[in-house]
Structure 1
């Protein structure tokens, strides 16, 4: 019944769990995060810590604001995460002398050392999902578009 509405472009007002896009996203998110858990446990990382390191490995040193924007996290969520990561040697934080409010973040010694070992995570997750690389790219594009629309970002 839900598939019929999707095919005709009608959302309807069904309160059936199986008809809810939000539940499908929620269930998929939980399943993917669970698939990451044992892989990241081998690295001694949580999923949020892994995401922070992905940004830092890609971009090098970034401001806390840039990191928050990349991860779609607010300062109140990101700050305690970065504090724990700094205490574990995963990241280093440095206040800017010109602007004490600005803090730069980079991978710490332990965080840099994990990069090589982390290269096996994406292929393992790809295999677990059963998606082809093309399917994964298309799904990622659709999910980002949904997130952008819900966040009010209408830019392409």
Structure 2
């Protein structure tokens, strides 16, 4: 639902789109869901070991921190204009120090950032993102989806 809202907002902007999206695929034969990172605004989502950030089931997860530190940081290396997407920030990047540093550098900057986060309160990184002074936090529900779209649309359209 959060990703759908972000996708709709990006369709309505003429700004250049930077950042990343993550996508979790269906579970493989071992019961683990592979999760991949892609450049934001990318029309074709490719899946390879190079952009596999990790796998998880309901209790166990395996993280490829190197992908966050290399590819994730590269996706967050943006010019001084446009809009930055971080969909989604979660627990897997907790050990990726360069990636986390880049997230906060962007939050301190002047480029608008649209980020979605896991709703977990036990991950310090996510709590710091949500409590950052430049952040406004919205909880997306089926009931307020359209209202949030209308409220956030001027932000992605303004220059």
TM-score of the two chains, using structure 1 as the length reference:
0.30
Tell me which structure has the larger Cα radius of gyration. Answer: 1
TM-score of the two chains, using structure 2 as the length reference:
0.30
Larger relative contact order (Cα-Cα within 8 Å, sequence gap ≥ 6): 2
Higher-helix-fraction structure: 1
Higher-strand-fraction structure: 2
